[in-house]
Amino acid sequence: MGTPLDSREAQVEEVIDRLHKEYPDSTISLNFATRLELLVAVVLSAQCTDERVNQVTEDLFEKYESAEDYAAADEEQLAEDIYGITFHNNKAGYLKGIGEILLEEHGGDVPDTMTALTDLPGVGRKTANVVLQHGHDVVEGIVVDTHVQRITRRLGLTEEERPEAIEEDLMPVVPEDEWQAFTHLLISHGRAVCTARNPDCTDCELEDLCPSSKLDHDTDLASGEVWS
């Protein structure tokens, strides 16, 4: 019986608690060894799978080791080097632009503020949050990717639709020391159970809390549409 707890705070706490038990090793799945590699991997991962990004970056990181390397790159060659990544032509332009700005304004290093990061081409608040959290240990917000967006809506934790609005809505409700874990727990759950097209509500450890559960609700609150 999918019934959410009385308050959003209680619902969040219970969700986090159960998902920690279910996915104790949940963390970022992109491979990187430096902050620059992290930044590049996260830029490449927009609308692309982490698995594909990891395949491509294996060679890319051997060839491009510094901001100078990206700044000096031939854009067409760079696009070829990231072929297989969604929007590889655009992203090659972003990477070259990022290399240039890092060199000109940050001594070749990856900056550690939200403003400086979001000034880089191809870097929005979500990408910046990931880089701050995993590159600088600075947790300024909650990363809202497609899994977080979908599942928080399904679980009745937010009615907002845009990632930025969802983040703002969740920040007062999710305990600050869980902001980073919250994203990874929901991503793990989104990949394993609560998938976009065919969530496995029967086997979901959150089923009794979920107002979208297919077992006793008609509507997917993420899309607002009737379950097919």
Residues that bind ligand SF4 (CB under 6 A): 154-155, 193-194, 199-201, 204, 206-207, 210, 212-214
Just list the catalytic residues: 126, 145
- Output the smallest distance, CB 185 to ligand SF4, in A: 12
- Output the smallest distance, CB 10 to ligand SF4, in A: 16
Rounded distance, CA 150 to CA 206, Å?
Answer: 14
Which residue, 107, 76, 106, is CA-closest to 93?
76
Residues whose CB is less than 8 angstroms from the CB of residue 177 and which lie 6 or more positions away in sequence, other chains included: none
Residues whose CB is less than 8 angstroms from the CB of residue 121 and which lie 6 or more positions away in sequence, other chains included: 93, 94, 97, 98, 101
Q: Looking at beta carbons only, is 34 or 223 nearer to ligand SF4?
A: 223
Residues whose CB is less than 8 angstroms from the CB of residue 15 and which lie 6 or more positions away in sequence, other chains included: 155, 157, 206, 209
- Output the smallest distance, CB 188 to ligand SF4, in A: 12
Q: Looking at beta carbons only, is 117 or 155 nearer to ligand SF4?
A: 155
Query: 201: annotated binding-site residue?
Result: yes
Q: Looking at beta carbons only, is 169 or 207 nearer to ligand SF4?
A: 207
In contact, 96 and 67? CB cutoff 8 Å? no
Q: Looking at beta carbons only, is 60 or 204 nearer to ligand SF4?
A: 204
- Output the smallest distance, CB 18 to ligand SF4, in A: 10
Query: 48: annotated binding-site residue?
Result: no
| Residue for token pair 């077992």 | 215
Residues whose CB is less than 8 angstroms from the CB of residue 109 and which lie 6 or more positions away in sequence, other chains included: 35, 67, 102
Binding-site residues for [4Fe-4S] cluster, please? 194, 201, 204, 210
Binding-site residues, please? 194, 201, 204, 210
